[in-house]
Amino acid sequence: MSVPLFEVVPNLSEGRDLGTIEEAVRAMRACGASVLHSTSDATHHRSVITAAGNAVQVLNASIALAGVALERIDLRAHSGVHPRMGALDVLPFVPLAGATMEQAVAVAHEAGERIWSAYRIPSFYYGEAALRPGRRLLADVRPSPEGDPDAGSLPSHETAGAIAIGARGVLVAFNVELETQDIQLGKRIARSIRERSGGLRTLRALAFPLKDGGVQISLNVTDERATPLYRVVEIVRSLAADCGVSVRQSELIGCIPRAAVVSAALYALGVEDPTV
Instruction: Please give the pLDDT value at position 25.
Output: 98
What distance in Å separates the CA atoms of residue 131 and residue 250, rounded to the nearest whole number? 35
Structural domain of residue 231, as residue ranges? 172-269
Are 202 and 160 found together in one domain? no
Element spanning 53, H or E: strand 46-53
Asked if residue 276 belongs to a domain, the reply is no
Are 21 and 151 found together in one domain? yes
Are 119 and 248 found together in one domain? no
Are 222 and 249 found together in one domain? yes
What distance in Å separates the CA atoms of residue 255 and residue 11, rounded to the nearest whole number? 14
Per-residue pLDDT of the chain in tens (276 residues, 90 and over written 9): 589 999 999 999 999 999 999 999 999 999 999 999 999 999 899 999 999 999 999 999 999 999 999 999 999 999 998 889 999 999 999 999 899 999 999 999 999 999 999 999 999 999 999 999 889 988 888 766 678 999 999 999 999 999 999 999 999 999 999 999 999 999 999 999 999 899 998 899 999 999 888 999 999 998 888 899 999 999 999 999 999 999 999 998 888 888 888 988 888 888 876 554
Tell me the CA distances in angstroms from 253 to 133, 171, 182, 224, one per residue in order.
29, 10, 23, 14
- What are the residue numbers of the active site? 82
Residues in the chain: 276
Q: Which residue, 135, 167, 199, sits at the end of a domain?
A: 167
Asked if residue 274 belongs to a domain, the reply is no
262 φ, ψ to 5°?
-60, -45
Asked if residue 136 belongs to a domain, the reply is yes
Instruction: Please give the pLDDT value at position 218.
Output: 95
Instruction: Please give the pLDDT value at position 275.
Output: 56
Are 189 and 238 found together in one domain? yes
Cβ atoms of residues 151 and 99 within 8 Å:
no
Asked if residue 265 belongs to a domain, the reply is yes
Are 157 and 59 found together in one domain? yes
Q: Which residue, 144, 167, 190, sits at the end of a domain?
A: 167
Cβ atoms of residues 165 and 125 within 8 Å:
yes
Are 23 and 145 found together in one domain? yes
pLDDT tens digits along 170-186: 999 999 999 999 999 99
Are 131 and 229 found together in one domain? no
Cβ atoms of residues 27 and 61 within 8 Å:
yes
Q: What is the CATH number of the domain that holds 227?
A: 3.30.70.670
- How, if at all, do strands 46-53 and 34-41 pair? antiparallel
Q: Which residue, 167, 202, 217, sits at the end of a domain?
A: 167
Are 115 and 180 found together in one domain? no
From 4, 8, 1, 37, select the one nearest 21 (Cα to Cα).
Answer: 37
Q: What is the CATH number of the domain that holds 31?
A: 3.30.990.10
Are 73 and 149 found together in one domain? yes
51 φ, ψ to 5°?
-135, 160
Asked if residue 15 belongs to a domain, the reply is yes
Asked if residue 275 belongs to a domain, the reply is no
User: CB within 8 A of 138, min separation 6: which ones?
Assistant: 90, 126, 127, 164, 166, 204
- Domains held by the chain: number: 2
Are 199 and 68 found together in one domain? no
Q: How far separated are the first and last CA of the chain, in Å rounded?
A: 32
Are 152 and 227 found together in one domain? no
